[in-house]
Amino acid sequence: MHTPRKSRLAELTRAAEGLRSRLPTTVGRGRGTSPLDDVARRRQSLGEIGGRIVSIRRLWRELVLSTAQQLAPSDLSLPQVATLYLLADGRARSVKQIAAELGRSHSATSRLVDLLFARKYLLAAPAEDKRLRLCSLAPTGEALLTRIDRGRAEQFVDLVRRLPAAERGLVAAAVAALATRAPITPPRTPS
């Protein structure tokens, strides 16, 4: 049985908040300061943050390659996985709507959706006209996304484990801050 995304987000947020509460408080300036203290004292502009994100290309490369390895057994493309994530919000959509939200042509999206139906990752509401059929995520599609999410989380945790304790705390606090401000999608309603 799968856990709704909202519950998983709540669990991750609680865990990150727990880590954040254990972060050391800022100590005086000088030689005894930690990286956490240094960052806490500095105000960073969004430009600085964006520049740092761009500079972590190696991390991005590792995450992308690992995700590609995870997807290899399923033989799904990035647009197909994006379609599954799009439908994970619980809203059924037509092929036309999916194409518009993904920025793809209708014909390419139609082929993509047909493949996802053939693999049982999607469900369709009955419609006389195939063009009007509404697509939604099937339990097998939700299970695939859960495996992808867990794999990505494990990989991220492995990367964070390599950091010194104070920096791990910074990452935990940043993840908690991002998670609490991320758009929350409604949980899927069973069909």
- Write down the pTM of the prediction: 0.63
Structural domains in the chain, CATH included, are 5-21+46-181 (1.10.10.10)
What integer pLDDT is reported at residue 99 of this predicted model?
95
135-189 tens-digit pLDDT: 999 999 999 999 888 888 888 888 888 888 888 888 888 888 877 876 665 444 3
Q: What is the average per-residue pLDDT within 113-118?
A: 95
Distance CA 35, CA 52 (A): 16
On average, the pLDDT of the chain sits at 77
